[in-house]
Amino acid sequence: MNEQRTQDYFNFLMEVLQATADSNGDTKIIYPLLRANLDKLDNNLADILRNWATAKFSEVEADRVTFIANTIWYFSNRLSDFPLGNKENNMEIGIAGYETVLKVFTRESNPENWAAIQNNLANVYSDRIRGYKTENLENAIAAYHLALSVRTKEDFPMDWAITQNNLAAAYRNRIRGDKAENLENAIATYHLALSVRTKEDFPYYWAVTQNNLGEAYSERIRGDKAENLENVIAAYLLALSVCTKEDFPYYWAKTQNNLAIAYRNRIRGYKTENLENAIAAYHLALSVRTKEDFPTDWAKTQNNLGLAYSERIKGDKAENLENAIAAYHLALSVYTKEDLPKDWATTQNNLANAYSNRIRGDKAENLENAIATYHLALSVRTKEDFPMDWAVIQNNLATAYGERIRGDKAENLEDAIATLRLALSVRTKEDFPIDWAVIQNNLGNANLYRIRGDKAENLENAITTYHLALEVYTKEDFPMDWATTQNNLGETYRNRIRGDQVENLENAMACYQAALRVAKPDTLPILCLTTSRNLASLASKQKDYQLAINNYEIAIAAIEQSRDWIPNETARQEILRNYMFVYENMIQACVNAEQYDKALETVERFRCRRLLDLILTKDLYKNGEVPEDILKLEAEMEEKQREIDYLHRQLQTPEDKQEMLGSSRHVTRDLWDDITGEIQKLVREKGEIRQKMLHRLYPVLEEESKPLSVSVEAMKGLLNPPLPPFERGEMEHREMERDDVALLSFYTTRNETYIFILTQTGVKLHRCQEQGYENFQFWLGDNWLTPYSQIDDSAAFQAVANLAKCDIDAIESINPKPSNVIVKLTDGTTTEISFSDFEASRKQQKHKLYKQWQDKMEGMLKEIADRLQINQLIEKLTDIKEIILVPFMYLHQIPLPALPLDNGEYLGDKFRVRIAPSTQVLTFCRQQPQNPEANLPRYGIVENTRDDLPYTPKECELVAQIYGVAREHHLKGSKEATKAKYKQLLTKEKVLGLLSSHHAKSNLTEPLESKLLLGDTDLTLGELLNASIRFPQLGDLFLSCCETALGNSELTDDIFTLSAAFLSAGASNVISSLWSVNDLATTILSYFYHRNRAQGIPSADALWQAQMELKELTLAKAEESLEDAEAVLEEFEGNHYTVRASCSPEIEENPEAVLEEFAGNHPVRASCSPEIEENPGNTEETPGNTEYEEKKKIADNCQKVYDLVEEAQKLIGGEKPFNHPYYWAGFVCQGEG
C-alpha cells in the first residue's frame, strides 16, 4: 500500500475515532461515516489501529490513554454491530480494537471494564468467520470464563447473567470436546442465566434466554428426543409470551423462526399438523425478516421454509417441492460462497435434496442437478473443517447416486455404497446415533437394489443394516423412521434368497404390519400407501385375498387422503393416474375372492373423480349465496371468454360484413398470427383463473361436502324409478323396489373387461376374457375415436399432399393463413398453396374420411358386441326390462343401445337403456331438489344460434307446436339466442324442459373448452361447471347439437362432456350426441322424441322409440300418416256442427281415440292442447275451435315430416334413408331417463 493510501486510512481512523468520542458512540453519527468509507474497512485499518494505539499509549499521559482506550472500545462495539461492509473484516477490526484496549484496561487496574471487554471480545470470537471455527470458539469460551471471574452473581448479577447466556451459546456451538457434554453445559448455563433473568424483573432478557434455551434443547443429544423437542416448543412459546411483534419485532421474528424449526422436527403429535404449524410460523417470521431490513435473517428463514416445504405432507407434493426450490434460490441470493460460505453450503445441500426429490421437470436432469449441487456444498463443507456436515452431504449424495438415471446403473449403486461408507467414518453410533441410523437405513436400500456382487449376499447385508438402524430407530422415539425401515426390511425379506421361504414371507408380512401400526392414511399417507400396497401385493401372491383386500382398502384411503389435501386440480388428477393400479389390484383381489359387491364399490369409487369434484364444488352453494370472491373469478373467466370469442369472430367475419364495417377484406398474415397467439394466451389465462377458483373451493369441499355413497345398498336405490321430471311438485315421490332393473358397470383391467351386474338381489359378474386395455380399450380408441377425432387433421394433410404433390409423411406442419396456407416439409423447405384451393380439397377429403368412418360403424358395433359377449350377457339378465349402463374409458363414446344381437334386434330393443358417467353422478342427479316453484314455463327452445342450419327452424317449429312454447321462451337466431338469454332461460325463467338446437363442438384435448356455439359468444363446458350456474328445476334437456356427449376418457375414466356438465348443473335427464349428427335426420328424430315425451313416455323409451321410428321411416309411411291426418281433418270439417250428443260414447270418453285412429302407429295425443285434455266434453266442434286447430296442426306436422323425408330420399337415397346407425344411433339418454 502506497504512502498516500496509508495516509487516507490514518485520516479516516482519526476522523471516525473523533466522531465516536464527540458523540459518545452514537451510531447516527458513526454509521454514515463508516458507510462512506466501506473501502477502508479491511485488514489495513485493523493493523493501523493496532500500531497507532500501541504507539500512542506510550506517548501520552494516563488520563489521555484511558480516554483513547474508551474511544477505541466504543468504536469496536459499534463496528461489531455495523450491518454493512464485509462482515469478516469488520470483526477483525473489532478484535484488533478489543485486544488493544485490554492492554490498558487490565484485571488489576480496571476489573469491571476488563470483564466487559472480555465478554465483548468473546462475542466476536463466537461469530468470527476468519480462522478455524474450532479455535475461535475455544477463544470465546476462554474469554467468557475470564469475564466471569470478575462478573460474579453476587457483585454483578445482571452482567453475570448476560455472560452466562453468551457462554451457553458458545458451548452450544462448540466443536471440540464431546458434543453431548457441550450441549449439557449449554443448557445448564442458560438455566443459570435464568436464575437472574426472571420474567418479573427482566421480561425481555428472560424471553431472549428462553429462546436460546429452546435452541439448545433442540440440539440436545442426551435425554429423550421427543421430550427435548417438547421442551424446545415450550421454551419458545414462553419467549413469545413476552416478545410480541408490536414490542420486540426482531426477536419475535427470530423466535417464530426457531419455533417453526421445532415444529418441523417434532416427534409427538401429527407430523402433518406439525409441518403446517412450521410453515405458518416461518411466514410469520418473514413478515418482519425482510430482505431489505434483515437480509441474513431473511435468507435463513427462506432456507428453513424450503426445508418445511420439502417435507410437507399436505398439499401437492410437486408444488411443495417447487416452493422449496424457490425458497432455497431466494436464500442463495444473500448466501454467497464468498461472504457466507457455511450458510451457502448448507443451502446448496438443501437445494440438492429438493432437486433429488423433484417431480416436475426431467427426472434424469433433476438428479444431475442434485449431484452437481451436492459437490458444490462439499467444496466448503470439507471433512477437515466440517466433518459432521460433510458426512450429511455424503449421505445425501449417496441417495442421489442410488436413484441416478444417467450413467451405468451398477456403477451408480457402487458410488452410493462407497459414499455411505465415507459418511460412516464420521457418523458413528457412539457420537451421532441418529445420523448413523439414517446411513444404515440408506445402506440397506443400496444393498437391496445392488446389481454387482452376489444377490443373496447383498440381501443379507441389507437385512443386517436395517436391523442396525432399528437399534436406534425405536417406535417410541422415531416412529416415522422406524416405520419406514420396517417397510424396507419387509421388502428385503420378501425378496430374500437364503433361508426358509415361508419364514421369509412371514417376516416380510410382520414387518409391513408393524410399519402400518404407525403409518396411517390420515397421518403418513404416502408411507401408509407404500407399505399397505406392498403387503396387499404379497398377500395376493399368497392367495390370501382377504388380507390383500383389507390392505388395498388402506392404500386407497391413503390415496384419497393425499388427494383431498391437495387444492391443485391437476395434481389431484395426477395422484389418481399414478396410483390407479392400486384400485385395479383391489378390484382384481375382490374378483378373485368373489366379493363382487366390494369390487363394484371400488370401481365406482374410482371413476369420474375429477368430474365429481367439479360437480360437488359447484354444489357447495346450492342453498346459499355464492361467495363474492368466487363470483369475481367467474366474472373474470367470462370476460376472458368474451375476448376469445371476439378474436375468433375477427378471424371468421364474412367479407361482406368486413366491407360494411369499413375494414380490410382480408386479415393479414401478421395479424392472423397475432390474433391466434392472443387467443392461446387468453385460453391459458382463463385456465389459470379456474385453477385459482378451484384452489379456493377444494379446501371447502374437504371440510363441508359429504361424499356420495358408493355402497351396493346405496346403488340399489338407483334401480328404483325416479320421479318423472314434469311431475316434480305434483305428487309425493314414493320409491318402489324394482326387481326388473339392473345396473351394468363396466371396468377394464390389464387382461379382461368386467361387467358388474347389480340387481336388487346382489352383484353378479360377466367376464370378457382377453379384452384388457391393449386388446379392447386401446383397440376401441384406435378404431373408433381416433379416426373420428383426426378427420379434420387428416383431411387437411391429405389436401395439402394432393395440392403440393408430395407424400403425407413429407409434411411437417400446416399453417393456414387468410389467403394462403404455409406448408413446412420434413426436408426443411416450405411451400405455399392457395387457401381457397386448400379449403375445397380439405372439405372433399373430410367428406371422404367421414364416409369411411360411417361405413365401418356397423361392423365395429358388431365386433364390440362380440367382444363384450352381449348375447351371453343377456342370458344373465333374466326378467330384466331396464338396464342402466355405466361405461368405462372408450365405451363412453359407443352408442351402446345400438349394439346388435344375434336375433337381429338391438340392445335397445331388448331393454330400456339409460346411461350414466358414474353411479355417483347419477346419485347426484337423484338428490337434486324435487319440488320446483309453481307455474314455471313447461318448455323453452333455443334455435339456430348461428343462422346456418337449414332444417333446425322446422324442428323447433314442430316442437314449439307440441308444447305450446311461449314466444318469449323461444330464442330464434343469433340476435335472440345470446349467452345471457340462454342462461336466463334456464336460471331466471326456469323452464322445466329445453330444446337446444344449434351448433356445438367437443374439445378432446381441452375438455373444459368444449362449447355450445351461441349467437354472440360461446358457452363452454367449464362455465357450465361454475358455482353460479344452477338449474335444478330442469327435468328434460334435448341437446340437438353435435358432439355433446363426446369426450376423451382416460385411464382414470374421467369423461368430460357437455351433457355431463348439464347434469352437474341440475338437469335430471339429458339427450345428447356422440358425434357430428345430420341436421335433417336430427330434425325428424327430435320431433318424434318430443311427441313421445309430451305423451308421457319416459325419456329413455321416448328416445329409443323415436330412433327406431326414424330408422324404419320411409316416404310411404310418411305419406300414409299424412293421408290419415288429412282424412281426419276433412271429417271434422264436414261434421263441424255436430253437437256433443252425436258423439259416440267411446269418443266422448276418450277423445284421443280419433287421433290414434288416423295416426296409426304414431300417437299424437300429446299434440292436444291442455284445454282439450282437461275438458274432453267440449260440444263446440267448429272449424274455429281449439280441437279443430290441433288436428290442423297434426296434419301440418305430418306434411312437414313428409317433405323432410322426401328431401332425404333425394339427398341420401334409399327406401329407408335413415336406416344406417349414423343417422339414428348417435343420441343417448343420460341421467334419470
| Model pLDDT, residue 677 | 75
Q: What is the pLDDT of residues 491-532, one digit of tens each?
A: 999 999 999 999 999 999 999 999 999 998 887 888 999 999
Let me know: does 740 contact 880? Beta carbons within 8 Å: yes
Residues 6+ apart with CB under 8 A from 836: none
| Cell numbers for 107 | 484485571
Residues 6+ apart with CB under 8 A from 124: 80, 91, 94, 95, 98
Q: Alpha carbon of 698 to those of 314, 606, 612: distances in Å?
A: 13, 18, 12
In the chain, the amino acid numbered 266 is R
Sign, Cα dihedral of 1069, 1070, 1074, 1080: positive
Site of grid cell 279443430: 1188
Of 1228, 1087, 1098, 1216, the residue nearest 1162 (C-alpha): 1087
Distance of CA 995 to the CA centre of its chain: 35
Q: Which of the 8 DSSP states describes residue 718?
A: G
| Model pLDDT, residue 941 | 97
∠ CA 508-513-514, rounded to 5°: 95
SS3 570: helix
Q: pLDDT confidence of 658, banded at 50, 70, 90? A: very low
Tell me whether domains 519-606 and 930-1096 share a fold.
Answer: no
Could you give the CA distance from residue 967 to residue 952 in angstroms, rounded to a whole number?
17
Whole-prediction pTM: 0.69
Give the mean pLDDT of 721-733: 47
Q: Strands 1000-1001, 1011-1013: parallel, antiparallel or unpaired by DSSP?
A: antiparallel
Of 1158, 1163, 1172, 1083, the residue nearest 1124 (C-alpha): 1158
Q: pLDDT confidence of 895, banded at 50, 70, 90? A: very high
Q: Which of the 8 DSSP states describes residue 906?
A: B
Q: Alpha carbon of 418 to those of 376, 424, 428, 434: distances in Å?
A: 19, 10, 16, 20
**Could you write out the DSSP letters of every residue in 811-824?**
EEEEEE-SSEEEEE
Q: Which of the 8 DSSP states describes residue 900?
A: B
Q: Alpha carbon of 922 to those of 710, 716, 722, 862: distances in Å?
A: 11, 12, 11, 28
| Model pLDDT, residue 883 | 96
Task: Name the strand (E) or helix (H) holding 883.
Answer: strand 882-886
Could you give the CA distance from residue 901 to residue 892 in angstroms, rounded to a whole number?
20
Let me know: does 603 contact 920? Beta carbons within 8 Å: no
| Model pLDDT, residue 694 | 59
Residue 258 has pLDDT above 60, yes or no: yes
Residue 580 has pLDDT above 50, yes or no: yes
Which segments within 957-1024 are labelled E, that is strand? 970-972, 993-997, 1000-1001, 1011-1013, 1018-1020
Specify the range with the lowest mean pLDDT, choosing from 562-571, 585-594, 1060-1069.
Answer: 562-571
Tell the burial category of 671 from Cβ atoms under 10 Å away from its Cβ (0-12, 13-18, 19+). Answer: middle
Could you give the CA distance from residue 200 to residue 547 in angstroms, rounded to a whole number?
61
Of 1008, 1013, 1044, 1024, the residue nearest 942 (C-alpha): 1013
Give the mean pLDDT of 277-304: 96
Let me know: does 520 contact 551? Beta carbons within 8 Å: no
Residue 1160 has pLDDT above 50, yes or no: no
Of 812, 1012, 1054, the residue nearest 920 (C-alpha): 1054
Q: Alpha carbon of 845 to those of 720, 782, 849, 1081, 1146: distances in Å?
A: 49, 20, 6, 23, 60
Residue 736 region by backbone torsions, left for phi larger than 0, else alpha for psi between -120 and 50, else beta: beta
Could you give the CA distance from residue 385 to residue 368 in angstroms, rounded to a whole number?
26
Q: What is the pLDDT of residues 130-156, one digit of tens each?
A: 999 999 999 999 999 999 999 999 999
Find residue 997's DSSP bridge partners.
Answer: 943, 1040
| Cell numbers for 421 | 461408507
Please give the residue that has the higher pLDDT: either 1190 or 169: 169
Please give the residue that has the higher pLDDT: either 732 or 335: 335
Q: pLDDT confidence of 670, banded at 50, 70, 90? A: low
Residue 290 has pLDDT above 50, yes or no: yes
Q: What is the pLDDT of residues 696-706, one digit of tens each?
A: 654 554 444 45
Residue 605 has pLDDT above 50, yes or no: yes
Could you give the CA distance from residue 1002 to residue 147 in angstroms, rounded to a whole number?
81
Torsion of CA 590, 593, 598, 600, to 10 degrees: 60
Could you give the CA distance from residue 999 to residue 1010 in angstroms, rounded to a whole number?
11
| Cell numbers for 563 | 388427494
Report how far apart the first and last C-alpha atoms of the chain are (Å, whole number).
95
Give the mean pLDDT of 869-898: 95
Of 71, 3, 6, the residue nearest 45 (C-alpha): 6
Task: Name the strand (E) or helix (H) holding 759.
Answer: strand 752-759
Q: Alpha carbon of 9 to those of 4, 5, 42: distances in Å?
A: 9, 6, 10
Residues 6+ apart with CB under 8 A from 1025: 614, 615, 618, 1008, 1061, 1064, 1065
Find residue 744's DSSP bridge partners.
Answer: 757, 885
Let me know: does 85 contact 31? Beta carbons within 8 Å: no
Class level of CATH domain 519-606:
mainly alpha
Q: pLDDT confidence of 623, banded at 50, 70, 90? A: low
Let me know: does 995 contact 942? Beta carbons within 8 Å: yes
How are strands ordered across the β-sheet holding 820-825?
811-816, 820-825, 830-834
Share of the chain above pLDDT 90, in %: 65
Give the mean pLDDT of 650-654: 53
Of 395, 465, 399, 391, the residue nearest 431 (C-alpha): 391
| Model pLDDT, residue 1189 | 78
Of 798, 847, 841, the residue nearest 811 (C-alpha): 798
Could you give the CA distance from residue 1091 to residue 36 in angstroms, rounded to a whole number?
92
| Model pLDDT, residue 1142 | 34
Could you give the CA distance from residue 781 to residue 778 in angstroms, rounded to a whole number?
5
Let me know: does 636 contact 689? Beta carbons within 8 Å: yes
Residue 1181 has pLDDT above 50, yes or no: no
| Model pLDDT, residue 647 | 73
SS3 395: helix
Q: Which of the 8 DSSP states describes residue 774?
A: I
Q: What is the pLDDT of residues 1017-1038, one digit of tens each?
A: 899 998 888 777 888 888 899 9
Q: What is the pLDDT of residues 420-446, one digit of tens each?
A: 999 999 988 988 898 899 999 999 999
| Model pLDDT, residue 525 | 86
Sign, Cα dihedral of 270, 272, 277, 279: positive
Let me know: does 887 contact 785? Beta carbons within 8 Å: no
Let me know: does 1231 contact 1063? Beta carbons within 8 Å: yes
Residue 1229 has pLDDT above 90, yes or no: yes
| Cell numbers for 110 | 480496571
Q: pLDDT confidence of 260, banded at 50, 70, 90? A: very high
Tell how many helices (H) and how many strands (E) occur in the chain: 52, 17
In the chain, the amino acid numbered 1015 is G
Q: Strands 830-834, 820-825: parallel, antiparallel or unpaired by DSSP?
A: antiparallel
Residues 6+ apart with CB under 8 A from 815: 821, 822, 823, 824
| Model pLDDT, residue 1121 | 87
Site of grid cell 421480561: 203
CATH code linked to domain 930-1096: 3.40.50
Q: Which of the 8 DSSP states describes residue 781?
A: I
The residue extents of the domains of the chain are: 519-606, 628-704, 772-860, 930-1096, 1115-1217
